[in-house]
Amino acid sequence: MDFLPISKEDMERQGIAQLDFVYVTGDAYVDHPSFGHAIISRVLEGNGYRVGMIPQPDWKDERSITVLGKPRLGFLISGGNMDSMVNHYFVSGKHRPTDAYSPGGEPYRRPDHATVVYGNLIRRVYKDVPVIIGGIETSLRRMAHYDYWSDSFRRSILLDSQADLISYGMGEKSIVEIADALAAGIAVRDITFIPGTVYKTKDITGIYDAIRLPSYEEMKAEPRRYADSFRIQYCNTDPFAGKTLIEAYPHDVYVVQNPPQPPLTTEEMDAVYDLPYMRTYHPSYEAAGGVPAISEIKFSLVSNRGCFGGCNFCALTFHQGRTVQVRSHESILREAERMIREKDFKGYIHDVGGPTANFRQPSCGKQMTQGVCKHRQCLFPEPCPNLEVDHSDYLALLRKLRSLPGVKKVFIRSGIRFDYLMADRDDTFFRELVEHHVSGQLKVAPEHISDAVLRMMGKPQKAVYERFVRKYDKLNEQLGQKQFLVPYLMSSHPGSTLQEAIELAEYLRDLGYMPEQVQDFYPTPSTVSTVMYYTGIDPRDGKKVYVCRNPHEKAMQRALIQYRNPNNYELVREALRKGGREDLIGFDKKCLIRPRKTENRRPAGAAANAKYRTGNASGKSDSACTGADARNSVRAGKKKTIRNVHKKKEKG
């Protein structure tokens, strides 16, 4: 086994005169199945194609794209394991100080909108070589979309990158079909028939049984039309029932999305993960200290992909799909045994899971033949009557892993879907989860406790989470364990006003818990929540949604979740006043903060309570920010922040 070539010297050593494909990625080269570029390149290699890697090329130097020569069949591009903009920026617009997917964690090793930049770089040098783009950045931007960082409505990434073809989703099947078509001499412009691909054309007369989406110009002029388009796209993400979608652009250009590639069978999943990965980063990164991201996944096992959870702020529906696909026990155990033999393995398997750890089969039997339901979710607003809840297979897998010689502990760090867990009438898995698979703290994601906000998130009601907490505590008591829950919480999600943020703060007060970290809602392309943020409309039903876009109110909502932090005092005080809840400023045990020592505070009483009842009856805070002024304010503030970051980079 060896790494794929990253230089001409590597090609000569491996006896390769010309590569079939050159893979350009925004990440450092890590040959591990948790990295998309590793999977796609090894899948192609396993099908007889010669692939080389150009990781993190210098996008300012055209020579950086020529280091492996001209490929025989085409260039493949991925922005990396994360969207490059999420990788670069906090939701505030400030640049992240490190990049876990770069050597030594060094930032600035990839450009903003990496896929677009790499595509145009290749086009300047090789004008006639097919360019195929993929990865999560491409999947989520394959059709027209809202871009939070520029606060603009952008075209399909296929057009902006000057690529010929998109392979969206996980891509193992579609990339091999593309390679086979190119190898057979089919021109890339004629590859219009492969599931899981998006292509551009000027002639749609031969496309049958397709759905015409609103045009790009229509959506750009009227955001409501984007909500309409997204609803159609969301209902056509299934390979069994999804239709071909057509999106029109000026000058008679059409972007055409074929239905997704079929889900992988267990045998196909096993074949992907049994490929000869080196399971670490390229040795050329040793001098820089390696690639930090490897530490999180080196001793973790992927057991599934896909998620039928349907959280509105999550992009998995558009990338991996709702159909759960799994590896066999035998394949996972083989990988675990390889891990155990590694010299730095200490006896701890860090994770066994995927997008949702406790999903080990499709939600119901019909999904593998008829597809997922278009107009209802499996778990939201409550579990579907047809939902098949069964943890027995996952439990059996964990027991086998625990019994392997050399394994001291098997932890679960992927998300546990607690509403699915609570729907299981058999407590065996829950009990063994608490007894064997929690490393002192179990991370769960209620996200909020206001049912109004949870509905916008596509999450279960507060009562479900509270039942889960009570059961978790009871099992810990029965088993003599002292383990805690770490709930992930989100502020400023569409639908959350100051009233709901205060409601969450009161819940945390009663719980006696203060989270160390809070995630402010981050609008990423192609999620239901991002459509709400941009349009102010819930694409599921067309109703208006309150959206907080004002940076100051976002700061207040975030501060309320950490109201005990002295640095947040002024923001919390202002939020309580604007929300008509001055009764929570005082010395009573129910108060969130105390008044200033110099402040003659009006006693909480009927007047304060009346203000709370009548002053904000609409549920909106005084700083409601759904209008054009607020949009312009956040746009200006964000652009200024990002502009300052770029100035610093240029000076550096």
Residue 620, pLDDT > 70, answer no
Report which of 383, 378, 518, 501 is spatially closest to residue 449, judged by C-alpha positions: 501
| Residue 126 covered by a domain | yes
Tabulate helix, strand, coil % of the chain (nearest 5): 40, 15, 50
Structure tokens at 466: 């509270």
CA distance 346 to 325: 30
Residues above pLDDT 70, as percent of the chain: 92
Give the per-residue pLDDT at 373.
87
Phi-psi region of 558 (alpha: psi -120 to 50; beta: other; left: phi over 0): alpha
Average pLDDT over residues 634-646: 46
Residue 462, helix vs strand vs coil: helix
Q: What is the pLDDT of residues 166-215, one digit of tens each?
A: 999 999 999 999 999 999 999 999 999 999 999 999 999 999 999 999 99
pLDDT surpassing 50 at residue 17: yes
CA distance 621 to 632: 19
Q: What angle do CA 25, 28, 32 make, to 5 degrees?
A: 95
DSSP assignment letter at 289 = T
pLDDT value of residue 374: 82
Is the pLDDT at 265 greater than 60? The verdict is: yes
571 part of a folded domain: no
* Contact call for residues 395 and 428 (beta carbons, < 8 A): yes
- pLDDT number for residue 607: 42
Is 80 exceeded by the pLDDT of residue 397?
A: yes
Mean of the pLDDT values across residues 544-573? 96
Distance CA 7, CA 28 (A): 14
The CATH number linked to 135 is 3.40.50.2300
Predicted TM-score (pTM) of the model is 0.89
Residue 601 has pLDDT above 70, yes or no: no
Pairing of strands 300-302, 351-353: parallel
Tally of domains within the chain: 1
Q: What is the pLDDT of residues 99-130, one digit of tens each?
A: 999 999 999 999 999 999 999 999 999 999 99
Beta strand 210-212 with 244-249 is parallel
Strands 165-167 and 131-134: parallel
Quote the pLDDT of residue 600: 54
Q: What is the mean pLDDT of residues 573-593?
A: 96
Does the residue 648 lie in any domain? no
Examine the pLDDT at 652 and tell me if it is beyond 80: no
Position 316 in a domain: no
pLDDT tens digits, one per residue of 294-328: 998 999 999 999 999 889 999 888 889 889 999 99
In a domain, 51, yes or no: yes
Span 325-377, pLDDT tens digits = 999 999 999 999 999 999 999 999 999 999 999 999 999 988 878 888 888 88
Decide if pLDDT at 645 tops 90.
Answer: no
Q: How confident is the model at residue 629 (pLDDT cuts 50, 70, 90)?
A: very low
Q: Label residue 599 by pLDDT band (50, 70, 90).
A: low
Residue 263 clears pLDDT 60, i.e. is over it:
yes
Q: Which of 195-204, 452-461, 635-644 has the lowest mean pLDDT?
A: 635-644
pLDDT of residue 514: 87
Question: In what helix (H) or strand (E) does residue 412 lie, and over which residues does it extend?
Answer: none
> Which range marks the domain in which residue 162 is found?
8-198
Could you count the other beta carbons within 10 Å of the beta carbon of residue 414?
A: 22
Q: Give, for 644, the enclosing helix (H) or strand (E).
A: helix 628-651
Q: Is residue 484 part of a domain?
A: no
- Report yes or no on 542 lying in a domain: no
| Type of residue numbered 36 | G
In a domain, 234, yes or no: no
Position 650 scores a pLDDT of: 43
DSSP 537: B
Average pLDDT of the chain to the nearest whole number: 91
- The pLDDT, as a whole number, for residue 622 is 36
